[in-house]
Amino acid sequence: MNRPSVKRHLLALCTAAGLGVSLGLAALPAKAETFITVLTGGTSGVYYPLGVALSNVYGKALPGAKVTAQATKASVENLNLLQAGRGEIGFTLGDSLSDAWKGNEEVGFKQKLDKLRTIAAIYPNYIQVVAAKESGIKTLADLKGKRVSVGAPKSGTELNARAIFNAAGLAYKDFAKTEYLPFGESVDLIKNRQLDATLISAGLGVAAIKDLSSSQEITVVSIPADVVQKVGDAAYITETIPAGTYPGQDAAVPTAAVRNLLVSHSGVSDDAAYAMTKTLFENLDALAAAHVAAKQIKLDKSATQSPVPFHPGAVKYYKEKGLM
């Protein structure tokens, strides 16, 4: 079935939200069914609850539209789907977006994804290395000879794992066992003593880590600043996981972070991208209610540098706010 134009998706949005945006289209037929798909990530991560909240925001502003949040394998899959026009807006990590724009086949992009357009830089993904305390793992070097999950294959998390472990002088072959699993499954195996540690790239307060730390003692492993610097990618920055983020985590932990972005594509009209951007920032409270990570989404930081061009519709909104 052909997907209706995203211009039609936002016709009702602009009217309902009072955006004053003219799409230059006749009214939709009474029985027309329109679609907006928000591409998210695994259900135990942060992208999914935020994506569901974003779809609810659009759903309330789009009477009669079919707005869905689609669970995916996150960054890499989302970007490939957007390039193919199989979604209107999706979440991604900044380094994955850079690889997509370059067409890095090794990480899952068979060609340059030249249709991608940035909507907003949002909250940072904290790279969180978590181990069962009984494993004895206290540093990255202690992961040698241990059983480790590195995230779903070629997901944004797994790309982060490769970069961080390589910078720390580690390779997957150094582990006794390497699993490629989503957050929830990784935690389940640690609970069952079938894994020792996992690397999770997400906003703070990950449900899977909270679940693990509520059932047993954990160690949140530090990623030192010199390791972050050795990654050699400007997308990676130093950050700190505040004390008390997870049960039993009594001290702040230095780590790495990569900024997340919301991305669309060139097939989405300028008016549609403008309306989606405006509606996003007018409903940050609804996103923050869905997950604490959204509290770090700040308008003045959203028009920052991106590996791919900003959508002209998003640029229009930021210019109105004096940010570009």
Residue 265 and residue 252 share a domain: no
Please report the pLDDT score of residue 31 as a whole number. Answer: 41
Please report the pLDDT score of residue 34 as a whole number. Answer: 63
Residue 240 and residue 175 share a domain: yes
Please report the pLDDT score of residue 203 as a whole number. Answer: 86
Answer whether residue 203 is part of any domain.
Answer: yes
Answer whether residue 1 is part of any domain.
Answer: no
User: Model's pTM, two decimal places?
Assistant: 0.75
310: Cβ contacts below 8 Å, ≥ 6 apart: 117, 118, 119, 303, 318, 324
Residue 93 and residue 25 share a domain: yes
Please give the average pLDDT of every successive group of 10 residues along the chain, which has 324 residues.
47 42 32 74 90 92 79 94 97 93 93 97 94 97 98 88 97 97 94 97 90 95 97 89 94 95 93 86 95 92 90 97 93
Please report the pLDDT score of residue 10 as a whole number. Answer: 47
Residue 252 and residue 104 share a domain: no
Calculated CA dihedral for residues 139, 140, 144, 146, nearest 10 degrees: 80
Residue 217 and residue 69 share a domain: no
- Alpha-carbon distance 258 to 279, whole Å? 24
Residue 290 and residue 221 share a domain: no
Please report the pLDDT score of residue 7 as a whole number. Answer: 46
Q: What CATH number should be reported for the domain holding residue 15? A: 3.40.190.10
Q: Which of residues 258, 275, 303 is at a domain's end?
A: 258
Answer whether residue 63 is part of any domain.
Answer: yes
Residue 282 and residue 172 share a domain: no
Q: Which of residues 242, 258, 274 is at a domain's end?
A: 258
Q: Which domain holds residue 116?
A: 6-122+260-320
292 secondary structure, DSSP code: G
Judging by beta carbons within 10 Å of its beta carbon (0-12, 13-18, 19+), is residue 251 exposed, middle or buried?
exposed
Q: How many domains does the chain have?
A: 2
Q: Which of residues 258, 276, 301 is at a domain's end?
A: 258
Answer whether residue 175 is part of any domain.
Answer: yes
Per the CB < 8 A criterion, the answer to whether 299 and 281 are in contact is yes
- Alpha-carbon distance 310 to 263, whole Å? 9
Q: Strand, coil or helix: what is 160?
A: helix
310 secondary structure, DSSP code: B
The residue type found at 53 is A
